[in-house]
Structure 1
Amino acid sequence: MRTILLVCLVAVCVGGFGQVRAETCGGTYTVQPGETLSQIAEAQYGDAELWARIHGDNLEMLGETPDNLRAGMRLRLRCVNGLPKGLSGGANVAVSGAVAPARGNPAVRIDILTAGDFWPFADQALPGGGLLAEVVQAAMEAADPEQGFAIHWVNDRASHHEPLLSNVLLDMGFPWSRPDCEAEPDRKRCETLMFSSPLFEVLELLFVDNTRPLTFESEADMQGKTLCRPKGLSTYIFEQDGRNWLRDNVISLKIAASPEACFRLLIEGQVDGVVLNEFLGHQTIKALGLEDRIAPVQGQPISIDTLHMVAHRAHPAGKSLLDVFDAGLAKIRANGTYQRIVDEHMARVWEEF
């Protein structure tokens, strides 16, 4: 990953030798008909691979997919290694190699990533954006970082780890479950992510078709079964606490596009069970009108997970940003704001059930 240095925002004087000639770097670019982000990156930066940076800097306009690019859009292009030059709205910089501020520079806004369709924790249709979206908003307001912050909604969860967090296009993301990193530090999430203090604890349950009941008392009950998990949700839960269900082919795993898609596969008999957190599972069953057909297996959960804010280990200031968030979280726990938010959201959850 390229090293990005601090930008000089004004023309500078070199003592005794007069003013250094200045020009603009970065600024606003108007998309031309037929252009792609890669073409823009190649033309403006000389590097087509920087399309992902342009995408990340313009998420609020483009949304989760670069295919939303349209002629006439005005994109914000940050200054990277002195490019692009001459765009309107660019910063005046000395020609002597000034480049854009990196994430991790205290002057750069803290950009936080989440996704919808994760009831009751995160969804723009929910009050406050969901239980944990409201917690995060309150915690960051309590932390009150000088550079400010913004929460971005990108519903393609598969893009969160790579490239949005891994390439430091955004700073932090939530809600992510945490494996037992002390017992299994070589898990990918443990190797690549840093975690905040826990935000919430949730049960991951096995939901089954009542016409084909299952029990789950031991690993033997899962032998040969096919389970479904929606795209973008963790699968390490099948490989922890002494389990090796995937590695040892105890189960087969189908990845579906959504919780609804998993339950359709269950009804069609293509899978034996669906693994979801207790809230999302019950809410999806109700939305599909399948309360009399699908229910969680009685007995032990598949997993008990804690949900967290995360930053990628590639982020040069990831740990300090998580410290900022944790400080705000501690404040709202101490003053009762956290419990108020949880109580209000959980009252609505139990009302629905």
Structure 2
Amino acid sequence: MYKTSTNLAVAVAAAAGFTTLAAGQAQAQEQCSFYTVVRGDVLSRIATAAEVPGGFRVLFDANTTVLESPNQLEVGQVLAIPCADGSLPTGAAAVVAASTAPAPVTSAPARPLRIATGSDYAPFSDEDMPGGGMITRMVDRSMQLGNPDQEYDIVFVNDWGSHLETLLPIGAIDMAFPWFRPDCSRVENLGPASASRCTDFNHSDPFYEIIVDFYTLNGSAYANAQSTNDLFGARICRPEAWFTFDLEAAQLVEPNITYVTTVAQDGCFQLLQNGEVDIVTYDALPAEEDIRSAGMVDAVATLEPLRGAVSSHVFVSKDNAFANEALPIINAGLEQLRLSGEWFNIVRESIQQTVEN
């Protein structure tokens, strides 16, 4: 993830004609402006005060060059607050540009790249969405921008498990997305399946940071949980085939908890409603849509202190020399996508399409 230093962000924003304030000073939180984080700020409260359409998630998406997590704000960070039409305030692109290294040199194409994704993961990857979904559109544009001469095919392989288990290792495909990467600096804390994401694959720069939330019923014994340790003893549901490395890192594994999985993504909320599990946890964007579809909006509580973020990448097998040589194409194109502001436009449009549907 790109990260802008506090002083650089302040300088660029000021050069663009916006005034920042020292920590502790009162400052309006308004749409289509820049806001400087002060002590005690919380992203959700900033979004609410500025009436950001889509709330804290949209505000986080607009500031991934600055924020590493929706729960980690630092005094002095400068946040771009989206305008009413969803665009970014004038000067935001300058902050991104100032924090970004020059694009890497890409290798010459040797043959078409075979790139795979899967469906039924709206808004990120879905055959029925325009352009195949948010991340599909980003990968497609990154390839075009990174090296227009490189031929490639993006195909939907809906057996998600085959991507990392079979297709990438045997070279049937060169790249696969959107897959989530653990903290590979702590691979020793991961189970074998999670650790293999570090040991067997290389990764692109992050395309998107998903927000992972924990949900319970209002009034449950876990409704006031302040840390993952408060969930010890709970029955926790996460949909089948979803990553578990974040749970492993938080020691939310047997015997500390009872882990429950279900084939259907929205099946976890049915189990919660039936009293068969205590906690549901997965990507907040589809989870909130599943809550609405189940008619449980007034019954479910979000455990905000436990909220986290995980980055989505393009994966390549470490044994595929051609794919590894081509990986800089993806990274160079993604960099240009962010610099131009097209990245945020794709995010905004994709989320809006999901809400409308």
TM-score normalised according to structure 1 size: 0.64
Identity rate of aligned residues, in percent?
29
Native 8 Å contact 2:206 2:311 kept in 1:
yes
- Equivalence for 1:85: none
- The structure 2 residue matched to 1:233, chosen from 232, 237, 242, is 242
- Equivalence for 2:180: 177
Matches within 5 A, 1:280-295: 280-295=286-301
After superposition, give the CA deviation of every residue in 1:280-333 in whole Å (9 maximum; x if it has no partner): 1011122233223334223221x3111111112222223222211111111222
Native 8 Å contact 1:223 1:250 kept in 2:
yes
Native 8 Å contact 2:109 2:151 kept in 1:
no
State the Cα distance separating 1:176 from its structure 2 match.
1.3
Provide the aligned C-alpha RMSD in A. Answer: 2.4
- The structure 2 residue matched to 1:208, chosen from 202, 216, 229, is 216
- Equivalence for 1:253: 259
Structure ranking higher in strand proportion: 1
After superposition, give the CA deviation of every residue in 1:90-111 in whole Å (9 maximum; x if it has no partner): xxxxxxxxxxxxxx99543211
- Equivalence for 2:350: 345
In 1, distance between residues paired with 2:108 and 2:272? 48
State the Cα distance separating 1:209 from its structure 2 match.
2.5
- Equivalence for 1:319: 324
The answer to whether residue 233 in structure 2 is matched with residue 221 in structure 1 is: no
**For the pair shown, which has the larger CA radius of gyration, 1 or 2?**
1
- Equivalence for 1:265: 271
After superposition, give the CA deviation of every residue in 1:182-212 in whole Å (9 maximum; x if it has no partner): 2336722111121111111121111223363
In 1, distance between residues paired with 2:130 and 2:292? 19
Instruction: In structure 2, give the amino acid aligned to 1:264.
Output: Q
Matches within 5 A, 1:1-353: 106-144=109-147, 146-184=149-187, 187-210=195-218, 212=220, 214=222, 215-240=224-249, 243-246=250-253, 249-301=255-307, 303-348=308-353
In 2, distance between residues paired with 1:293 and 1:172? 41
After superposition, give the CA deviation of every residue in 1:156-201 in whole Å (9 maximum; x if it has no partner): 2222211111222111111111111123367221111211111111
SS in 2 for 1:230: coil
Instruction: In structure 1, give the amino acid aligned to 2:200.
Output: T
Native 8 Å contact 1:173 1:309 kept in 2:
yes
* Structure 2: gaps (5+ residues): 1-106
Native 8 Å contact 2:142 2:337 kept in 1:
yes
Native 8 Å contact 1:145 1:324 kept in 2:
no
In 2, distance between residues paired with 1:202 and 1:180? 15
State the Cα distance separating 1:140 from its structure 2 match.
1.2
After superposition, give the CA deviation of every residue in 1:223-274 in whole Å (9 maximum; x if it has no partner): 111111112210111122xx3222x621121221121122222222221111
Instruction: In structure 2, give the amino acid aligned to 1:307.
Output: S
In 2, distance between residues paired with 1:283 and 1:211? 22
Native 8 Å contact 1:111 1:170 kept in 2:
yes
Q: How many residues align?
A: 245
Structure ranking higher in helix proportion: 2
Native 8 Å contact 2:113 2:323 kept in 1:
no
State the Cα distance separating 1:145 from its structure 2 match.
5.2
Native 8 Å contact 2:213 2:281 kept in 1:
yes
Native 8 Å contact 1:244 1:250 kept in 2:
yes
In 1, distance between residues paired with 2:356 and 2:150? 39
In 1, distance between residues paired with 2:321 and 2:293? 43
In 2, distance between residues paired with 1:298 and 1:310? 30
Q: 1:200 to 1:147 in 2, by over 3 A?
A: closer
In 2, distance between residues paired with 1:154 and 1:108? 21
Instruction: In structure 1, give the amino acid aligned to 2:111.
Output: V
Q: 1:126 to 1:294 in 2, by over 3 A?
A: farther
Q: 1:105 to 1:328 in 2, by over 3 A?
A: closer
Instruction: In structure 2, give the amino acid aligned to 1:273.
Output: I
Larger displacement relative to structure 2 (208-217 or 122-131) = 208-217
SS in 2 for 1:166: helix
